[in-house]
Amino acid sequence: MIRAGIIGGTGYTGGELLRILSKHPEVEVVAVTSRREKGRKIHEVHPHLKGFYEIEFIEPDIDRLSECDVVFTAVPHGEAMRYVPELYESGLKVVDLSADYRLRKDKYEEAYGKTHEAYIEAVYGLTELHREEIAKARLVANPGCYPTGAILAAAPLAELELIERVIFDSKSGISGAGVSPTEFTHYPNLHEAIVPYKITDHRHYYEMEQELGRFQEDVRISFTPQVFPGSRGILTNAHIFLKGELEQDELEKIYRKFYDCSYFIRFQKAVRLSYVRGSNFADISINRGADRAVVVSAIDNLVKGASGQAVQNMNVMFGLDEWAGLDFPPLFP
Amino acid sequence: MIRAGIIGGTGYTGGELLRILSKHPEVEVVAVTSRREKGRKIHEVHPHLKGFYEIEFIEPDIDRLSECDVVFTAVPHGEAMRYVPELYESGLKVVDLSADYRLRKDKYEEAYGKTHEAYIEAVYGLTELHREEIAKARLVANPGCYPTGAILAAAPLAELELIERVIFDSKSGISGAGVSPTEFTHYPNLHEAIVPYKITDHRHYYEMEQELGRFQEDVRISFTPQVFPGSRGILTNAHIFLKGELEQDELEKIYRKFYDCSYFIRFQKAVRLSYVRGSNFADISINRGADRAVVVSAIDNLVKGASGQAVQNMNVMFGLDEWAGLDFPPLFP
Amino acid sequence: MIRAGIIGGTGYTGGELLRILSKHPEVEVVAVTSRREKGRKIHEVHPHLKGFYEIEFIEPDIDRLSECDVVFTAVPHGEAMRYVPELYESGLKVVDLSADYRLRKDKYEEAYGKTHEAYIEAVYGLTELHREEIAKARLVANPGCYPTGAILAAAPLAELELIERVIFDSKSGISGAGVSPTEFTHYPNLHEAIVPYKITDHRHYYEMEQELGRFQEDVRISFTPQVFPGSRGILTNAHIFLKGELEQDELEKIYRKFYDCSYFIRFQKAVRLSYVRGSNFADISINRGADRAVVVSAIDNLVKGASGQAVQNMNVMFGLDEWAGLDFPPLFP
Amino acid sequence: MIRAGIIGGTGYTGGELLRILSKHPEVEVVAVTSRREKGRKIHEVHPHLKGFYEIEFIEPDIDRLSECDVVFTAVPHGEAMRYVPELYESGLKVVDLSADYRLRKDKYEEAYGKTHEAYIEAVYGLTELHREEIAKARLVANPGCYPTGAILAAAPLAELELIERVIFDSKSGISGAGVSPTEFTHYPNLHEAIVPYKITDHRHYYEMEQELGRFQEDVRISFTPQVFPGSRGILTNAHIFLKGELEQDELEKIYRKFYDCSYFIRFQKAVRLSYVRGSNFADISINRGADRAVVVSAIDNLVKGASGQAVQNMNVMFGLDEWAGLDFPPLFP
């Protein structure tokens, strides 16, 4: 059994890691940390998991975590870099769910306007794009939720340098905003609403630019995120203006080839968030219009957009089946 | 024109007073207070009201409010009693939307387990029950949202002392919890949920007991509140076990007689929150079963359950038509 | 008093016309038709309007409608053209809420792939764009809900021929789908979802092309509609790629000038559907990014997107204040 | 491997059986029927299950089903009785998810006002109450969703004959209304709503009366169902008026003893539908008030309230662990 630890186990991504790993056939969670909740049982913080864990939250203590084979860091951006270097040096494997190691150093410093004080080179953990490097990596930077949905929708065309311009108009469930109440998550502010935010300057843009730019240097990307009244899910409309003529069936061929052997990519005539809810699938539909192609992707932001993909990456890092412990069906309706 | 002031104009009930009074034919809002927002325009805090007010928030200052003919206090429980006595003494009329003056002194002290340090006798402002006293009152205590829905559903039978036992199972939109984000109002905690709270000990119980007890001394009341995924509305199921035999048509006759000439009471075959949304109506349906009668009432918690009824009371206090400025239709669907 | 008739009074737009006109100071609704519901009182079909109307639904009968000064046709596309020509010939004024008269004949036939058998030239009733023609018109074609939100967001830039390309990504409440249950409106299919449909080929595209094309012949438009979990509202992200350099403040100046004296256009730092809900306002925010401007518009699809704008047009046709009967505030939260 | 068949595989309970059984370690689904969809792949009707099944829907044909070890009938009430007798006679085991075999013959005929033409004695499949009989049964009648939540909340007190009166006020997600669009499931009719229906005469009452009456003959039950804006979940408030004095801790002791060894019953300080969503758990909280105890239960109506419990019953019938294939955690948030 792989011994897993989680730094920051009280948030939504921590809870989701616990949910998924509770049934993973090859993993045992041996340590979960929380400064605030240390000494409490898992189910006192995550009542839905009552009956699944007997352990208690502990202080984030590298010594106690060093008995792990893998550690997931599920703490806020900026905080992960306090743990990752030491964990990395101690020789175990790390999957970081924060934004701290997703960008190359130069891009990070452009995006954040400051020096990265604890930089280590990581592999960007969009599994479908980087399987081989992930298999050899000791530090995987798990992608952002929006970039996961966006990059998956455009990568096959970027690889062939066919994109003139792409506009990602993305809609997320509010769980992406985390477990702490804010004006943003206040029920009446989201009720019967669809709320764009950081309309032209969300930092997830840089991940999209970095990853799609690997394929196609001149790719032009625009991105607007928004939240919709729901807890889970990200639906992304990728409005893609193409270089050259490409019919519907050619587009489909390109996508199917690119994602050949990718267990978690499914093509649907029409995607629905409820078709992927609770699962690690990324569903994709391709819609060729007269002016552009609209590729729509649907993921569960907490699974494929966070904790599920983290486990998928762990599977690859340890040579397991990519879908080990993740091959459960979505929850519809 | 009646000159109106609002103490505490930044919350949902304050915003709703501003919405309603903006079109009231006999009222001009001349002062709105907010410690935190003083100096800002109304629409900077309530963007939906852009174009409706030119005034700014001011400090809560009794001197400046004393030019008003009526003041609405829309501040939290416990805070209203800091303003009401002085306002009252200055001779103007007061409608208090807090819980501070709803209960008789003895009942208040039972409910809150402490002495009421600033007690004044007020008229309980459930307009349909106390019109005549309200017309003569200078201080009206506007009812709680749950008690409004509950008392309206049971009063006609209590008046005839026909209730053996009544269980109020009430469901409220979350706007009743106010404008400040909390765990309770955090979107993922209410999504696809129905959340009972203070299941056997909500303080609104005391208002129900006081008001129904005026009619029928031995009335036995049970009450459980809960929130449902929505912003506005309170639906109350009053499960009423009756003394004696009463058929459907007799029940209907009793209710129609009791609410004769009550503009805002409407009888519906089936009530829906969307049939009253945004309006001051209280819709009622009567359902006689083999074992009990279930009277279902529907109100908008921010209108008939708060600011609308406050204006209704003001209308009565000033001798206007009860429905002046309130006779707008609900927003369906 | 203006005597108004409504053909097709049982749907959401019919109900909304009845809601709005019930308080219009210059209008009396004298006839409402419904084949299916004839003989029933208004409130038997629209229980929320109980107390507001005493009339009954009648057969759609041109003779009885000819006593009206204005008739609103609120029937499905394709059906309006059965009534409009005869109404038009009888000399009264007509506001058609269907799609039958919105497009010029040639564009209609391109969009629908068939001959328009009952064509009459109408004025396109986006009031802010065509006030002067509407004032003289006898037949006004009320715009589609999506085009209203989209065109308002882009017209000021189109007028100056500054648009290189615009992508409208629009999200609508489900009330736009009408009062009849379908797979599309089935609750579990929309719960926690955001559902794109007619992703590249919605017919509302043609209205956008016609109206923005009046200003700027070479405008390139893309449009994708979707529904979100809510009843009312359309939020439109207009991703506008500009010709030439234009800073935030220049953009704002252009928009403010274009909409000078337009009562129903409000500029907000951030728009929210709840800031316009139930009202005829169209709120707009302008967001200049490095690559593009994103203009976001918010309307209530049943008010500014349908029945409210129909009344606004009627006001203009009869020389009333544009906002007569429409100057009520939105319902927030 | 147990060979399972499903009659009626296109509805929500059919889909949920397919979801659960896809990962059941001891079961293979070999036949799924649908008159309308025969010849189509499972995922063409249930796109969320893409990748999980290769079989096609077949005609409901007893011959082809007779190769099964167990058949689940997931067809509407009244239709199951067309299949069950023949299946039963063919010697295989049957779990019927309809209402056709839940009530004893006399009670059925009282409830439905007609003769049961195809009556067979079945075991009522509320697993926690009838494990031993289920283990020996060949026909198990799977309980209704509301009765599951209600009976679990009251059975421990009924067993001790401690109930003077119980009022079940239950709130269900709309998926219980099935996959076909109706006025009831029309999104705008449920948005921001809580809709009571069959307020005093829902047929599920008879199941509650039959099962609680087994324990306590004189139990007095009242029941009102309603739907809330959500897809899944039933929350039941059991307002229980007790015979005799019973403190909180005594109540807790009674419940814990009654449900000792029941894997799927969990006690929570406060139940939430999101703590059981997607799982077979029934969470219970006990709240002793001055006047009554309120026992609140939360289940997923499609899992513990339908297909999950059906699999739980199958497990017991075949001597498997009760939780085989069902021990997955809930989906929160």
Asked whether the beta carbons of residue A186 and residue B191 sit closer than 8 angstroms, the reply is no
Distances (CA, A) of A313 to A13, A15, A72, A140, C284: 15, 18, 11, 8, 43
Instruction: Give C63's pLDDT tier (boundaries 50, 70, 90).
Output: confident
CB-CB contact of A319 with A2 (8 Å): no
Provide, as residue numbers in chain D, all residues whose Cβ is less than 8 Å from the Cβ of C45.
none
Asked whether the beta carbons of residue D266 and residue A330 sit closer than 8 angstroms, the reply is no
Asked whether the beta carbons of residue A196 and residue C294 sit closer than 8 angstroms, the reply is yes
Provide, as residue numbers in chain D, all residues whose Cβ is less than 8 Å from the Cβ of B277.
192
Three-state secondary-structure class, residue A317: helix
In A120-220, DSSP assigns E strands to 123-124, 139-141, 163-172, 195-196
Instruction: Give C129's pLDDT tier (boundaries 50, 70, 90).
Output: very high
d(CA A128, CA A257): 12
Measured between CA atoms, the residue of chain D closest to residue A20 is D329
| B282 pLDDT more than 90 | yes
The distance of B192 to chain C (nearest Cα, Å) reads 9
d(CA C157, CA C25): 36
Written as one string, the DSSP assignment of D253-310 is HHHHHHTTT-TTEEE-SS--GGGTTTSS-EEEEEEE-SS-EEEEEEE-TTIIIIIHHH
Which residues fall within 8 angstroms of residue D79, CB to CB, at 6 or more apart?
D8, D98
Decide if B231 touches D, using CB distance below 8 A.
Answer: yes
Residue B159, judged by CB atoms within 10 A of its CB (0-12, 13-18, 19+), counts as: middle
Asked whether the beta carbons of residue B19 and residue C175 sit closer than 8 angstroms, the reply is no
- What is the per-residue pLDDT for D62? 86
**Which of D182, D188, D231 has its CB closest to that of C188?**
D231
Instruction: For chain B, list the domains and their CATH numbers.
Output: 2-121 (3.40.50.720), 145-300 (3.30.360.10)
* CB–CB contacts below 8 A, C to D: 51
**Which of B23, B232, B272 has its CB closest to that of C328?**
B23
Q: What is the mean pLDDT of residues C275-298?
A: 98
**Which of B231, B327, B330 has its CB closest to that of C333?**
B231
Measured between CA atoms, the residue of chain B closest to residue D277 is B192
Measured between CA atoms, the residue of chain D closest to residue B169 is D169
Q: What is the mean pLDDT of residues C298-308?
A: 98
For chain D positions 232-251, those within 8 Å of chain A (CB to CB) are 232
Asked whether the beta carbons of residue A328 and residue D191 sit closer than 8 angstroms, the reply is no
Helix B12-21, helix B308-317: angle, nearest 10:
50
Angle at A136 between CA A133 and CA A142, to 5 degrees: 60
Query: Which one of the listed residues B2, B27, B123, B145 is annotated catalytic?
Result: B145
Asked whether the beta carbons of residue B292 and residue D237 sit closer than 8 angstroms, the reply is no
DSSP state of D186: B
Q: Which residue's entry shows tokens 């309770």?
A: B184
Residue B333, preceding peptide bond in cis (omega within 30° of 0): yes
- What is the per-residue pLDDT for B285? 98
d(CA D168, CA D159): 17
Provide, as residue numbers in chain C, all residues whose Cβ is less than 8 Å from the Cβ of B259.
none
**Which of B19, B192, B268 has its CB closest to that of C47?**
B268
Asked whether the beta carbons of residue B275 and residue C47 sit closer than 8 angstroms, the reply is yes
- What is the per-residue pLDDT for A63? 87
**Which of C188, C226, C228 has its CB closest to that of A333?**
C188
- What is the per-residue pLDDT for B63? 87
Angle at B230 between CA B140 and CA B329, to 5 degrees: 60
- What is the per-residue pLDDT for D198? 98
Q: In this prediction, what percent of chain B has a pLDDT beyond 70?
A: 100
Q: What is the mean pLDDT of residues D154-163?
A: 98
Q: Average model confidence (pLDDT) for chain C?
A: 97
* CB–CB contacts below 8 A, A to D: 80
Asked whether the beta carbons of residue D174 and residue C188 sit closer than 8 angstroms, the reply is yes
Written as one string, the DSSP assignment of D233-256 is -EEEEEEEEESS---HHHHHHHHH
Q: Quick one: tokens of C115? A: 């001959």
Asked whether the beta carbons of residue B12 and residue C192 sit closer than 8 angstroms, the reply is no
Measured between CA atoms, the residue of chain C closest to residue A274 is C193
ipTM over 0.85: yes
d(CA C120, CA C89): 10
Written as one string, the DSSP assignment of C8-61 is S-SSHHHHHHHHHHTT-TTEEEEEEE-TTTTTSBHHHH-GGGTTT---BEE---
Among B164, B167, B191, B287, which would you mutate to test the D interface (most chain D Cβ atoms within 10 Å of its Cβ)? B167
Distances (CA, A) of D328 to D20, D38, D47, D301: 10, 31, 21, 16
Provide, as residue numbers in chain D, all residues whose Cβ is less than 8 Å from the Cβ of C180.
186
**Which of D175, D181, D192 has its CB closest to that of C181?**
D181
Decide if A185 touches B, using CB distance below 8 A.
Answer: yes
Provide, as residue numbers in chain A, all residues whose Cβ is less than 8 Å from the Cβ of C233.
192-194
| D296 pLDDT more than 90 | yes
Higher pLDDT, D64 or A183: A183
Distances (CA, A) of D318 to A30, C67, D97, D123: 35, 76, 18, 15
- Total residue count of chain C as it appears in this document: 333
What strands, in cross-sheet order, belong to the sheet with C221-227?
C195-196, C221-227, C163-172, C234-242, C293-299, C282-288, C265-267
A241 φψ region: left (φ > 0), alpha (ψ -120 to 50), beta (else): beta
**Which of B12, B185, B188 has its CB closest to that of A231?**
B188
Chain centroid to CA D137:
17
* CB–CB contacts below 8 A, A to B: 51
**Which of B48, B274, B275 has its CB closest to that of C275?**
B48
DSSP state of D41: B
In D70-145, DSSP assigns E strands to 70-73, 93-96, 123-124, 139-141
For chain D positions 268-307, those within 8 Å of chain A (CB to CB) are 268-269, 272, 274-279, 281
Q: What is the pLDDT of residues B203-257, one digit of tens each?
A: 999 999 999 999 999 999 999 999 999 999 999 999 999 999 999 999 999 999 9
d(CA A244, CA A287): 16
Asked whether the beta carbons of residue D332 and residue A277 sit closer than 8 angstroms, the reply is no
d(CA A129, CA A156): 10
Decide if A200 touches B, using CB distance below 8 A.
Answer: no
- What is the per-residue pLDDT for C228? 98
Among D170, D199, D235, D247, which would you mutate to test the B interface (most chain B Cβ atoms within 10 Å of its Cβ)? D199
Asked whether the beta carbons of residue D329 and residue A232 sit closer than 8 angstroms, the reply is no
- What is the per-residue pLDDT for B52? 98
d(CA C311, CA C314): 5
Half-sphere exposure of A70 (CA within 13 A, CB side): 28
Asked whether the beta carbons of residue C22 and residue B329 sit closer than 8 angstroms, the reply is yes
Asked whether the beta carbons of residue D23 and residue A192 sit closer than 8 angstroms, the reply is no
Q: What b-and-e string marks burial along A244-266, b requiring 16 or more CB atoms within 10 Å of the CB?
A: eebeeeebeebbeebbeebbbbb
- What is the per-residue pLDDT for B322? 98
Measured between CA atoms, the residue of chain A closest to residue C188 is A333
Q: In this prediction, what percent of chain C has a pLDDT beyond 90?
A: 98
Q: What is the mean pLDDT of residues B170-189?
A: 98
Q: Quick one: tokens of C208? A: 């956008």
- What is the per-residue pLDDT for A90? 94
Measured between CA atoms, the residue of chain A closest to residue C276 is A193
Provide, as residue numbers in chain D, all residues whose Cβ is less than 8 Å from the Cβ of A231.
333
Distances (CA, A) of D167 to B239, D218, D267: 8, 14, 21
d(CA B285, CA B298): 9
Three-state secondary-structure class, residue A175: helix
d(CA D198, CA D205): 11
Decide if A191 touches B, using CB distance below 8 A.
Answer: yes
Q: Quick one: tokens of C216? A: 């700027």
Residue numbers in chain A where pLDDT is lower than 70: none
Angle at B155 between CA B151 and CA B159, to 5 degrees: 150
Query: Which one of the listed residues C42, C97, C129, C145 is annotated catalytic?
Result: C145
- What is the per-residue pLDDT for B279? 98
Q: What is the pLDDT of residues D238-282, one digit of tens each?
A: 999 999 999 999 999 999 999 999 999 999 999 999 999 999 999
Q: Quick one: tokens of D49? A: 């299950």
The distance of D325 to chain B (nearest Cα, Å) reads 25
d(CA A229, CA A171): 10
Q: Quick one: tokens of C180? A: 């009849």
**How many other CB atoms sit within 10 Å of the CB of residue D249?**
10
d(CA C48, CA C328): 18
Q: Which residue's entry shows tokens 């600011």?
A: B307
Q: What is the pLDDT of residues C229-268, one digit of tens each?
A: 999 999 999 999 999 999 999 999 999 999 999 999 999 9
Q: Quick one: tokens of B115? A: 């002495």
- The one-letter amino acid at D174: I
Q: Which residue's entry shows tokens 């805090």?
A: B45
Helix, strand, coil content of chain A in percent (nearest 5): 35, 25, 45
d(CA B185, CA B191): 10
Decide if B63 touches A, using CB distance below 8 A.
Answer: no
Q: Which residue's entry shows tokens 């007269």?
A: A290
Which residues fall within 8 angstroms of residue A97, CB to CB, at 6 or more apart?
A13, A72, A73, A74, A80, A142, A306, A307, A310
Is C145 an annotated catalytic residue? yes
Distances (CA, A) of C295 to A203, C87, C152, C201: 20, 39, 10, 22
Three-state secondary-structure class, residue A131: helix
Provide, as residue numbers in chain B, all residues whose Cβ is less than 8 Å from the Cβ of C52.
329
Measured between CA atoms, the residue of chain D closest to residue C175 is D188
Asked whether the beta carbons of residue D12 and residue C191 sit closer than 8 angstroms, the reply is no
Residue among C283, C279, C284 at smallest CA distance from C329: C279
